[in-house]
Structure 1
């Protein structure tokens, strides 16, 4: 026969007391992967932009009033369709040279910019103060033309240039004639 003591022991299952162990190695690996992922994403998401040196509009005094830099330092580049570049130095009403139609590349706009920048720096006697280039893309020009002219600014080492969207009526006539 079964003893009452043995009977109670059969009906009550006893649980074993286990010491819980948590393995954190997988969590540590995932946390390092997440940290690396966020560091890479922060670096990739930083904006990449080209530095533009804009002209100082509080330049020398000409014509009795302060109207920006000396006109003989200013070279205006008009970007037109079919990869045409029209350039003139000074004011269009009284340009130092006749407006020229050039092409992109080594023998086109680059040669002209290097020549004009050298003349301007020799006249001023200061290597840090060269030509000021105003780039005016027309509605007919494409984005590739703008990128090409910005590359030319970097190649010719012209520090001061600006991209302007305004055309004077004389510049619009000049574009229409060419």
Structure 2
């Protein structure tokens, strides 16, 4: 098991005990945003010549006062153990476990034209009945080539209920039967 995943598992267990699943999720991604946007933060964090105590003091200035004390302690623990490299990976392992607990599923919805909330609500109900998806997070993409209908992509599953998909299926069947 990857070390970053072990830290994320520990955080998930702690978050469940403390009733802070969502707080930890948000805080971990605030720190991840620091990685993406603040070069000084990254330079300090990965400066291996700097003493641990000095590094923790300098990193303290970047850690938002709104961050949960457990998340701040995680950052300090990683610095103490010289495992700073794991910090940008932990949020993604945490997200994976968090989504599983919360029943969140990212669903890509591909349609020929924009859809309203009513259609997404119907898709949501269908996903719950058919696949047990409790909380779909929809990402709608418009693709004029599919003519009509809808294509859903989630959890390595593809549901193709498009006119283009039906025509392609008929085409394959005709070619197969002609041979």
TM band (smaller chain): under 0.3
Structure with greater helix percent:
2
Q: Normalising by the residue count of structure 1, what TM-score does the alignment of the two structures yield?
A: 0.24
Q: Normalising by the residue count of structure 2, what TM-score does the alignment of the two structures yield?
A: 0.24
Q: Which has the larger radius of gyration?
A: 1
